[in-house]
């Protein structure tokens, strides 16, 4: 496969992964598929997990990967950037994609580690309150019987674990694909793109 064709395949996968990242991040704003938790409560307490507001999936895995994906895709187009200069520029765009993927990966990992924000009974002194009961817990991801600690939103732990895990996997794949494109762009810059437009 020539470097231009490889760029096209990478770009298509990046489009899909960027869309998945954006959708997952937007869904995290609505735990239990309800809009009421996106607002502050009467006391001004936040009810959305802090890592959701960092928008790792929207900004990092989404926009910061989508823009490079568009240029990477253009390097396979015969009448646009399918030349040595376009492939050279794709290295820089892919590096920006790497930065976005690393940001998304980091936020998703921290979101999984800290767990969701929910209404639960605990703290010091023990009381019902909004908080992150798993922030200092070890192994809560495998001990599913602990997940019932979160009362509201219903099934918020499963919701967060599923979406942050999806973001983690998507960001990891984006990272790998952008690194491959950096190598592909280097070969395309040195050896050409097989398009005849050099």
pLDDT tens digits for 142-190? 887 888 888 888 888 898 999 999 999 999 999 999 999 988 888 777 7
Q: What is the DSSP letter of 144?
A: G
Over the stretch 76-133, which tens digit does the pLDDT of each residue have?
766 656 566 777 788 888 999 999 999 999 999 999 998 888 888 776 776 777 888 8
What is the structure's pLDDT at 79?
A: 61
Burial of 180 by CB count in 10 Å (0-12 exposed, 13-18 middle, 19+ buried)? middle
End-to-end CA distance of the chain: 17
The residue extents of the domains of the chain are: 3-41+50-115+159-191
Q: What is the pLDDT of residue 164?
A: 94
Evaluate whether 24 touches 163 at the Cβ level (below 8 Å). Answer: yes
Evaluate whether 108 touches 171 at the Cβ level (below 8 Å): yes
């Amino acid at each position: 496969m020539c470097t231009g064709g490889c760029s096209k395949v990478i770009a298509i996968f990046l489009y899909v992964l960027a869309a998945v990242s954006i959708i997952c991040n937007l869904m995290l704003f609505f735990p239990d598929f309800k809009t009421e938790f996106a607002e502050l409560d009467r006391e001004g307490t936040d009810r959305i997990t802090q890592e959701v507001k960092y928008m790792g999936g929207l900004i990092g895995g989404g926009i910061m990967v989508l823009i490079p994906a568009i240029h990477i895709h253009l390097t396979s187009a015969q009448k646009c950037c399918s030349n040595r200069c376009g492939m050279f520029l794709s290295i820089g765009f892919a590096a920006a994609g790497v930065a976005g993927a690393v940001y998304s990966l980091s936020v998703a990992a921290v979101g999984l580690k800290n767990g969701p924000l929910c209404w639960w009974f605990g703290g010091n002194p023990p009381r019902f309150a909004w908080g992150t009961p798993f922030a200092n817990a070890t192994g809560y991801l495998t001990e599913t019987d602990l997940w019932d600690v979160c009362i509201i939103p219903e099934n918020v732990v499963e919701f967060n674990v599923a979406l942050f895990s999806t973001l983690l996997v998507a960001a990891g794949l984006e990272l790998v694909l952008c690194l491959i494109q950096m190598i592909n762009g280097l070969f395309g810059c040195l050896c050409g793109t097989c398009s005849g437009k050099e």
